[in-house]
């Protein structure tokens, strides 16, 4: 779920928490697409408080990355750990996103 979204400089910082399933992924997608439509290009997604993310959550992040890249921006993933880190490595999404 979205814990907090803040806009700093040219970055939209998104702090997520808990488990991300279909419902949460849809809310995240809707919120972040709103920021893209307002002209924001670079997103920093902090997954440090996320304990699980399913395929719809991963797909949402990939879709936001695609839209951001089309606008000259990107999605940066921060604080990967545990099962979420394993899922990113297993699906090779560590090659798709900038990981910090």
Query: CATH code at 87?
Result: 3.30.750.24
Flag whether pLDDT at 94 surpasses 90. Answer: yes
Q: Which phi and psi angles does 18 have, rounded to 5°?
A: 75, -150
What does the alpha-carbon distance between residue 53 and residue 21 come to, in Å, rounded to a whole number?
Answer: 6
Label residue 100 exposed, middle or buried (CB < 10 Å: 0-12, 13-18, 19+): exposed
Strand partners, 78: 46
The pLDDT, as a whole number, for residue 24 is: 96
Q: How many domains does the chain have?
A: 1
pLDDT digits (tens, 9 = 90+) for 44-83: 999 999 999 999 999 999 999 999 999 999 999 999 999 9
Angle at 8 between CA 4 and CA 14, to 5 degrees: 30
- Residue 9 is predicted with a pLDDT of 79
Domain hosting residue 59, numbered range: 2-99
- Stated length of the chain: 100
| pTM greater than 0.85 | yes
């Amino acid at each position: 779920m979205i814990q907090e979204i803040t806009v700093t400089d040219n970055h939209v910082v998104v702090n997520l928490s808990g488990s991300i399933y279909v419902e949460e992924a849809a809310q995240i997608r809707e919120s972040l697409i709103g920021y893209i439509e307002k002209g924001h290009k670079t997103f920093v997604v902090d997954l440090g408080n996320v304990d699980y993310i399913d395929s719809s959550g991963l797909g949402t992040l990939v879709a936001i990355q695609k839209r951001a890249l089309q606008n000259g921006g990107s999605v940066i993933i921060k604080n990967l750990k545990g099962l979420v880190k394993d899922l990113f490595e297993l699906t090779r999404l560590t090659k798709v996103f900038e990981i910090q």
